[in-house]
Amino acid sequence: MSLIPDTLTLNRTGLIKVRVTGANHCGDPSAIMDGRVTVRYTVRLVVSSGSLDARGFIVDQQALHNRIVDLGESELPWREPCELLSLVWSAQLLAWISAAHPHVLVRELELTLSPAPHAGSFTATFHDKPRQDKHVRAGVN
């Protein structure tokens, strides 16, 4: 039997500073220094195996990291909690990948944000097609 690769996965983790303001921002107030909170991020990018560029890359990992740094250091400080930032930033990462890397066919993008002191994390997952949820809510038939 000969197996043919279907997907290729890029995993990238890093630490960034996120400019925050307001009462409901990402990160615990005790972890904020100079209006910034340290956030650990993890990106999991699953692409079609034919999504490599001419040099054999999906995307440049340093460019991906720089894009996330730029999101965190936005001109306007973020007021949103990490739950919402994970959704907003995932959508912005998908737009960036689509524009800057048209050879990439994204199957799944997962972004996890964990603000200092890194006791919790929040993950947004985007899929190329809706998944069939098999969860049944209590009391609903």
Report how far Cα 30 is from the mean position of its chain's Cα atoms.
24
Residue 112 belongs to a domain: yes
Residue 104 belongs to a domain: yes
Residue 115 belongs to a domain: yes
* Across 102-118, average pLDDT: 96
Domain residues for the domain of 109 are 15-45+79-130
Residue 57 belongs to a domain: no
Residue 52 belongs to a domain: no
For the segment 54-99, what is each residue's pLDDT rounded down to a tens digit? 999 999 999 999 999 999 999 999 999 999 999 999 999 999 999 9
Alpha-carbon gap, residue 86 to 84, rounded angstroms: 5
Residue 138 belongs to a domain: no
Residue 108 belongs to a domain: yes
Q: How many residues does the chain have?
A: 141
Report the number of distinct structural domains present in the chain.
Answer: 1
